[in-house]
């Protein structure tokens, strides 16, 4: 979990390969089910409809027995009522973080990030900072926090593997 640009999807994909486990990217799954991009979902149906789809997917994951998969959740999914507790039931939760300026640089003004779309660099940085201010307290409830600043995805995955191997959570 973490903000846009932290590397959630890329990290989950590589981690799942290293662990020989399936990977589920919540945003990708929702896009496939809806037949449209997250940006289009936000535009046409609104954020509440998207969050309802996230919550439904999370409940489906909870209903599965021993799914043993790596899950990349969207940045807002942990914010839903009780969602952080649900994520913790599913397994180890990891908060990926980086400096606000780095996050802004990584995502630019891509239209694929509906809550951050259409912003110039300074506006984007400010908007990310505000989102993090609202979300950080929830993100910090994760079992682990990994700083992705100046690290490759492979370095982040290696760090996660090392910590999970050497730690009983």
Angle, helices 38-45/26-34, rounded to nearest 10 degrees: 60
Q: Is the pLDDT of residue 114 over 80?
A: no
| pLDDT bracket for residue 108 (50, 70, 90) | confident
Are 78 and 87 in contact by the 8 Å Cβ rule? The answer is yes
| Arithmetic mean of pLDDT over the chain | 90
In a domain, 3, yes or no: no
Residue 141 within a domain: yes
Which pLDDT does position 116 carry in this prediction? 52
Burial of residue 64 (CB within 10 Å: 0-12, 13-18, 19+) is exposed
Quote the number of domains for the chain. Answer: 1
Q: Is residue 60 part of a domain?
A: yes
Tell me, yes or no, whether 26 lies in a domain. yes
Q: Which residues contact 141 (CB under 8 A, 6 or more apart)?
A: 78, 84, 88, 93
* pLDDT tens digits for range 127-136: 999 999 999 9
Is 2 a domain residue? Answer: no
Which band of pLDDT confidence, cut at 50, 70 and 90, is reported for residue 111? very low
What is the extent of the structural domain holding 40?
Answer: 8-166
Give the other-Cβ count within 10 Å of 116's Cβ: 23
CATH number at residue 101: 3.40.50.300
| pLDDT at residue 40 is higher than 50 | yes
Q: Is residue 38 part of a domain?
A: yes
Specify the pLDDT at position 119. Answer: 52
116 is a domain residue: yes
Determine the pLDDT at residue 69: 94
What is the pTM (predicted TM-score) of this model?
A: 0.87
> Is 110 domain-assigned?
yes
């Amino acid at each position: 979990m973490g903000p846009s640009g932290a590397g959630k999807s890329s990290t989950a994909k590589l981690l799942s390969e290293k662990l020989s486990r399936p990977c589920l990217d919540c945003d990708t799954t929702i896009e496939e089910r809806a037949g449209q991009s997250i940006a289009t979902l936000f535009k046409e149906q609104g954020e509440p409809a998207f969050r309802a789809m996230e919550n439904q997917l999370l409940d489906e994951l909870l209903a599965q027995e021993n799914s043993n998969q790596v899950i990349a959740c969207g940045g807002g999914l942990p914010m839903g009522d009780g969602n952080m507790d649900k994520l913790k039931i599913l397994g180890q939760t990891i908060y990926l973080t980086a400096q606000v300026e780095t996050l802004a640089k990584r995502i630019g003004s891509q239209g694929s990030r509906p809550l951050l779309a259409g912003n110039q660099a300074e506006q984007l940085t400010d908007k990310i900072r505000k989102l993090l201010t609202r979300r950080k307290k929830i993100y910090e409830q994760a079992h682990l926090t990994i700083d992705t600043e100046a690290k490759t995805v492979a370095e982040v995955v290696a760090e996660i593997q090392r910590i999970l191997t050497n730690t009983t959570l």
